[in-house]
Amino acid sequence: MIRSFVRGSGSALPANLVTNAQLADQVDTSDEWIVERTGIKQRYIADEGETTSTLATQAAQKALADAGVDAKDIDLIVLATATPDNTFPATATKVQHALGCNGCIAFDVAAVCSGFLYALATADSMLRSGMAKRALVIGAETFSRILDWEDRTTCVLFGDGAGAILIEAEETDDPAAGVISTKLHADGAQHDLLYVDGGPSTTQTVGHLRMKGREVFRHAVVNLAEVLGEVVENAGVSIEQIDWVVPHQANKRILDATARKLGIDPEKVIVTVDQHANTSAASVPLAFDVARKDGRIKSGDMVMFEAMGGGFTWGASLVQM
């Protein structure tokens, strides 16, 4: 059978670091409130000239170097973002051109914070079907550009960044190798709990992020615990066999509550929300890259990715490194 194997990863952050204390100079908030309610201590905010595509390109270049693969050998780019450079064309095509692999398949996926899971599932399916051999799966965002900087209930929660992984199709007899099992879900009835109040077909504006935080929180814990359970069951593994959980980094309290609900050792949960805040589709590959590069996630490890975001959309994927 054909399976997708992770060959490399990379990530990128804007140069401009903004601490909670700096934010408190602009809006009515405090370092104490943000840390206590979310675990966030700082975030990176894109400067003029830095866009979703420039961050995505940097992350992709690092993933290529890490895997030792030439850009010309990439035949698929799937980029998850809710903050594209332009309404069209897809940001993936700008990244493709910047990398110099023109001609390969390149498109964006829109599933907000779970975008990386949707992108990974799409690329994995295309690799398994033989449509492509080597794919860059990227999550990249500049959420700072869709925040209402006068709304303290949302603007303190997000940051900008990008993460990328390179996956490659390979024949194997081992059903527990590479991307093992992925489950995705969506529920459009929850649209109004987390959305952007603009768009080309409605207001002809970009709009700002709107969120009912408390309700999102409640749904997140329930949905994430459920989908993780589905993946574990489908893969025929136990929770104890998972070496690392790389969750979407929205809020430390969501990470803790989900781990508690499933009986996952908190030591196995990769946490970067304190450093990066919520970078939406970028958060899972960013956290993964951090934990791979600092030596925690190693070859052979069983890693669970999981995320939930606007839509709602949510999903999880079990991958053997």
Q: Which are the catalytic amino acids?
A: 113, 248, 278
Residue 310: CB minimum distance to ligand ACO, A: 7
Among 2-10, 130-138, 239-247, 248-256, which window interacts with ligand ACO (CB under 6 A)? Answer: 248-256
Q: Measured between alpha carbons, how far is 105 from 154 in angstroms, rounded to an integer?
A: 35
Query: Among 156, 257, 277, 303, which residue interacts with ligand ACO (rule: CB under 6 A)?
Result: 156
Residue whose CB is less far from ligand ACO, 43 or 134:
43
> Residue 187 carries which side chain, given as an amino acid letter?
D
Q: Within a 10 A sphere around the Cβ of 25, how many other Cβ atoms?
A: 8
Residue whose CB is less far from ligand ACO, 137 or 211:
211
Contact 254, 218 (CB under 8 A): no
Contact flag: residue 251 with ligand ACO (CB under 6 A): yes
Contact 302, 179 (CB under 8 A): no
Contact 56, 90 (CB under 8 A): no
Residue whose CB is less far from ligand ACO, 7 or 41:
41
Query: Among 161, 309, 311, 315, which residue interacts with ligand ACO (rule: CB under 6 A)?
Result: 309
Instruction: Pick the closest to residue 140 from 70, 78, 217, 231 (CA basis).
Output: 78
Which residues, 194 to 213, sit near ligand ACO by CB under 6 A? 194, 211, 213
- CB proximity list for 28: less than 8 A, separation 6 or greater: 152
Residue 289: CB minimum distance to ligand ACO, A: 19
What DSSP assignment string belongs to 210-224? Answer: EE-HHHHHHHHHHHH
Q: Measured between alpha carbons, how far is 51 from 30 in angstroms, rounded to an integer?
A: 28
Residue 254: CB minimum distance to ligand ACO, A: 6
Residue 207: CB minimum distance to ligand ACO, A: 16
Residues in contact with ligand ACO by CB under 6 A are 29, 33, 37-38, 113, 152-153, 156-157, 194, 211, 213-214, 216-217, 220, 248, 250-251, 254, 278, 308-309
